[in-house]
Amino acid sequence: MDRTMIFKRFRHKQTSRHLRLRVESCVDIILELNDRLGAGKIKPEIIQQFERLRESLPYVTDESVDERDIDRIEEATNQLLAEIKVAYGENRVRLPHDGAEH
């Protein structure tokens, strides 16, 4: 096997692992924020979707990870965080990720 094949395969694994970590970060932030705010502050349907996403992550294969889907998850996370800041005030809600966008 030539060296370029090894590096391509390694780079693919690193990229898919990075993509998976991005999703896990979004899920963790939203669910932790829901715990901090208290039940019912974030629509239960949204929390259920993020919980289902967390449950399904171990079954996601590297080949099924699509960066566009992850971009949409990050966009939804950032929109939700912005809405929470408006609703509860930026000083009142301390975000677990120090305010950095995904």
Dump pLDDT digits (tens) for 11-27: 445 566 777 888 899 99
Task: Report if residue 32 sits inside a domain.
Answer: yes
Tokens of 8: 């391509």
What mean pLDDT value characterizes the chain?
A: 77
Quick one: angle between helices 67-88 and 3-37, nearest 10?
Answer: 20
Task: Report if residue 51 sits inside a domain.
Answer: yes
Reference 24, options 66, 67, 73; nearest CA is 73
- Number of structural domains (the chain) is 1
Task: Report if residue 100 sits inside a domain.
Answer: no
By residue range, what is the domain housing residue 19?
Answer: 3-88
Task: Report if residue 96 sits inside a domain.
Answer: no
Tokens of 88: 């509860």
Q: What is the pTM of this model?
A: 0.67
